[in-house]
């Protein structure tokens, strides 16, 4: 793992890197230098060009112009195999693991060369001990937490002795304790000479971890700085080109009538690797934001499916919306009661990829304003889509584009705007700002707080604790299908939430009070 740090040459230099797709210039003459043994942040809002740039560096795509220097020598990286041979490793945001295979088997199948299962087990132990990445070689992946799965991805890269490790949103599914453990590991890797290119929307962790950062906006470099010398708000302003304000909290209020009441909700998993829900109680009042925290895979998607009516339960009175028992009724019936829903997966679940935005309004607006007697009112649907685009600052490449042509952040703004513009009595949203940049996240969070301020009940399922502490009035934690009691946000600390997320709150005797 140890690099030759005596050389005065930077490990990697990108000079004038450009990538053009037709009329779109995704990267515009980007210069980027990564020194040996440094943790360098790559920052920018959605669509800024970060993904394109790291794909070039990892050999997934070729640049239109520019040059890559590796230890001062020009190189052409034609594929990920060539990148790994050179010494570049990458841990993607979404894990690429086989649930049915063991830890050792998942690592072995991804390695090229003469790697055997026994050799992987041996080296796995060495690397795990050296960097504090504890893994059990014979555990099946489907039994592991998100943090443990991420360790597999990192160890898989480390076994190939990378000189440069690229990490894309590495803490998005981690508890605060797991994130801190990751930071300790990355600091040790850097101390041993491995350079790290770190991509994240979480600016406070960038300030804690990185000594230098390159900021992209519109495909261009707009600044290179030491993030420790700037506030998160200053960095965010550079990313989006405008000041990012704080979310304005609503007026303090007393809880009003129940908009959502769940009593004794239990539900078997939908598939063999799903999570069963166990005796869940949940209440959301008019005028409040209720936050549900948890590590991915602990029942969030199953809870959303049960609350939205995508999966029904055996008794109607287990779930009540606006006082009406509806546990046995589907999603359309619950919408008619004044509820609205935003699932985690934007493209394919919340929106039809090949349909235009106007057509996508029909998913939740199949009512008098966009249809009549079974016929779609296309002009009305277009006007509605235009209103959502304008109200929620959805940036589109053309008028009424297909959903798949929008960036992730802009599609998320459209999907949430489509539901909020209905002014529902109850809104349930799963991962509202997943993978969304600071500007879009602020807009979405403010819209949720404003909706609650108008008297709606808002339930936010999120892995982002900063988000929940910013917007929620009350919060609970879901772990292995069980929901902790709801408490006021002021009665929680991040440490206590993290322990609940790990299922260790009772073991540590954690206090929830500040």
Kindly report, residue by residue over 43-88, the tens digit of the pLDDT: 998 778 898 999 999 999 999 999 999 999 999 999 998 999 999 9
Same domain, 310 and 389: no
Which tokens hold the place of 474? 């009350």
Same domain, 84 and 178: yes
| Structure confidence at residue 7 (pLDDT) | 60
How do 73-75 and 65-70 pair as beta strands? antiparallel
Same domain, 226 and 278: no
Is there a domain that residue 145 lies in?
yes
- Identify the helix (H) or strand (E) that includes residue 167: strand 164-168
| Structure confidence at residue 191 (pLDDT) | 93
Query: Within 10 Å of residue 132's Cβ, how many Cβ atoms?
Result: 12
Residue where a domain stops, chosen among 188, 220, 240? 240
| Structure confidence at residue 227 (pLDDT) | 95
Q: Please, which pLDDT band fits residue 498 given cuts at 50, 70 and 90?
A: confident
- pLDDT of 4 over the 70 cut: no
Same domain, 284 and 360: no
- pLDDT of 488 over the 60 cut: yes
Is there a domain that residue 3 lies in?
no
Same domain, 319 and 400: no
Residue where a domain stops, chosen among 207, 240, 273? 240
Q: Do 260 and 429 form a contact (C-beta atoms < 8 A)? A: no
**269-272 contact pairs (CB < 8 A, 24+):** 269/302, 270/302, 270/305, 270/311
pLDDT tens digits, residue range 172-215? 777 787 888 889 989 999 999 999 999 988 888 999 999 999 99
Q: Is 290 helix (H, G, I), strand (E, B) or coil?
A: strand
Cα separation, 459 vs 449, whole angstroms: 11
| Structure confidence at residue 420 (pLDDT) | 93
> Of the given ranges (8-12, 270-274, 457-461), which has the lowest mean pLDDT?
270-274
pLDDT tens digits, residue range 248-259? 776 555 656 889
Q: Please, which pLDDT band fits residue 2 given cuts at 50, 70 and 90?
A: very low
How do 474-479 and 289-293 pair as beta strands? parallel
Q: Do 107 and 126 form a contact (C-beta atoms < 8 A)? A: no
Same domain, 139 and 277: no
Is there a domain that residue 370 lies in?
yes
Backbone angles phi, psi at 342, to 5 degrees: -125, 105
Cα separation, 46 vs 44, whole angstroms: 7
- pLDDT of 514 over the 60 cut: no
Same domain, 437 and 470: yes
Contacts of 196 (CB under 8 A, 6+ apart): 38, 39, 40, 164, 165, 166, 167, 186, 189, 190
Average predicted confidence (pLDDT) for the chain: 88
Same domain, 26 and 153: yes
pLDDT tens digits, residue range 260-278? 999 999 999 887 778 899 9
Same domain, 264 and 309: yes
| Structure confidence at residue 437 (pLDDT) | 74
Is there a domain that residue 4 lies in?
no
The residues facing 164 across adjacent strands are: 88, 195
Cα separation, 445 vs 211, whole angstroms: 29
What's the whole-number mean pLDDT along residues 216-222? Answer: 93
The residues facing 372 across adjacent strands are: 375
Backbone dihedral region of 481: left (phi > 0), alpha (psi from -120 to 50 degrees) or beta?
left
Which tokens hold the place of 261? 């009441």
Q: Please, which pLDDT band fits residue 170 given cuts at 50, 70 and 90?
A: confident
Select from 260, 358, 274 the least CA-distant residue to 309.
260
Residue where a domain stops, chosen among 222, 240, 258? 240
Q: Please, which pLDDT band fits residue 114 given cuts at 50, 70 and 90?
A: confident
| Structure confidence at residue 371 (pLDDT) | 73
What's the whole-number mean pLDDT along residues 148-156? Answer: 85
Same domain, 43 and 187: yes
Which tokens hold the place of 351? 């929106």
Percent of the chain clearing pLDDT 90 (strictly above):
54
DSSP state of 141: G
Backbone angles phi, psi at 393, to 5 degrees: 50, 50
Same domain, 315 and 417: no
Burial (CB count <10 Å: 0-12, 13-18, 19+), residue 96 = exposed
Burial (CB count <10 Å: 0-12, 13-18, 19+), residue 373 = exposed
Residue reference for tokens 């709606």: 456
> Of the given ranges (112-121, 137-146, 170-179, 415-424), which has the lowest mean pLDDT?
170-179
| Structure confidence at residue 254 (pLDDT) | 61
Highest mean pLDDT among 5-14, 150-159, 296-305: 296-305
| Structure confidence at residue 173 (pLDDT) | 72
The residues facing 375 across adjacent strands are: 372
- On the CB side of 85, how many CA atoms lie within 13 Å of its CA? 11
Instruction: Give the range of the structural domain holding residue 266, as residue numbers without chain letter.
Output: 247-338+424-514
Select from 89, 288, 272 the least CA-distant residue to 170.
89
Distance linking the first and last C-alpha atoms of the chain: 42
Is there a domain that residue 2 lies in?
no
What's the whole-number mean pLDDT along residues 91-107? Answer: 85
**Axis crossing angle, helix 117-131 with helix 146-158, rounded to the nearest 10:** 110
- pLDDT of 5 over the 50 cut: no
Q: Is 260 helix (H, G, I), strand (E, B) or coil?
A: strand
Cα separation, 68 vs 74, whole angstroms: 6
């Amino acid at each position: 793992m140890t690099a030759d740090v005596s050389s005065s040459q930077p490990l990697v230099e990108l000079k004038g890197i450009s990538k053009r797709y037709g009329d779109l210039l995704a990267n515009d003459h980007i210069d980027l230098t990564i020194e040996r043994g440094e943790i360098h942040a790559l920052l920018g809002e959605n669509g800024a060009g970060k993904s394109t740039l790291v794909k070039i560096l990892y050999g997934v795509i070729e640049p239109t112009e520019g040059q890559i220097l590796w230890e001062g020598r020009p190189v052409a990286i034609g594929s990920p195999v060539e990148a790994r041979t050179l010494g570049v490793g990458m841990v993607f945001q979404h894990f690429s693991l086989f649930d049915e295979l063991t830890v050792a088997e998942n690592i072995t199948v991804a390695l090229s060369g003469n790697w055997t299962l026994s050799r992987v087990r041996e080296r796995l132990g060495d690397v795990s001990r050296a960097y504090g990445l504890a893994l059990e070689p014979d555990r099946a992946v489907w039994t592991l937490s998100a943090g443990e799965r991420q360790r597999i991805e990192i160890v898989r890269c480390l076994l190939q002795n990378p000189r440069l490790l690229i990490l894309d949103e590495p803490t998005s599914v981690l508890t605060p304790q797991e994130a801190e453990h990751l930071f300790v590991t990355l600091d040790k890797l850097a101390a041993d000479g491995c350079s790290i290119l770190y991509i994240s929307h979480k600016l406070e962790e960038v300030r804690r971890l990185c000594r230098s950062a390159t900021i992209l906006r519109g495909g261009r470099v707009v600044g290179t700085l030491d993030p420790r010398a700037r506030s998160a708000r200053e960095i965010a302003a550079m990313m989006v080109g405008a000041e990012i304000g704080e979310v304005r909290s609503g007026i303090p209020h007393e809880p009003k009538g129940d908009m959502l009441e769940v009593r004794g909700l239990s539900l078997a998993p939908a598939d063999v690797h799903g999570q069963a829900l166990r005796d869940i109680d949940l209440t959301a009042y008019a005028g409040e934001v209720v936050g549900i925290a948890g590590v991915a895979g602990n029942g969030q998607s199953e809870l959303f499916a049960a609350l939205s009516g995508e999966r029904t339960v055996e008794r109607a009175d287990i779930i009540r919306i606006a006082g009406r028992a509806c546990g046995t009724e589907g999603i359309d019936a619950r919408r008619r009661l004044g509820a609205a829903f935003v699932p985690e997966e934007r493209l394919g679940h919340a929106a039809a990829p090949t349909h235009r935005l106007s057509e996508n309004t029909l998913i939740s607006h199949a009512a008098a304003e966009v249809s009549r007697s079974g016929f779609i009112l296309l002009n009305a649907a277009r006007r509605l889509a235009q209103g959502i685009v304008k109200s929620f600052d959805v940036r589109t490449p053309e008028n009424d584009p297909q959903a798949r042509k929008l960036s992730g952040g802009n599609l998320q703004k459209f999907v949430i705007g489509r539901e909020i513009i209905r002014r529902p009595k109850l809104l349930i949203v799963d991962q509202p700002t997943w993978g969304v940049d600071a500007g879009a996240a602020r807009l979405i969070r403010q819209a949720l707080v404003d909706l609650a301020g108008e008297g709606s009940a808002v339930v936010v399922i999120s892995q982002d604790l900063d988000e929940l502490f910013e917007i929620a009035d009350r919060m609970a934690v879901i772990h292995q299908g069980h929901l902790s009691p709801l408490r006021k946000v002021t009665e929680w600390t991040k440490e206590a939430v993290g322990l609940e997320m790990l299922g260790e709150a009772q073991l540590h005797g954690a206090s929830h009070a500040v």
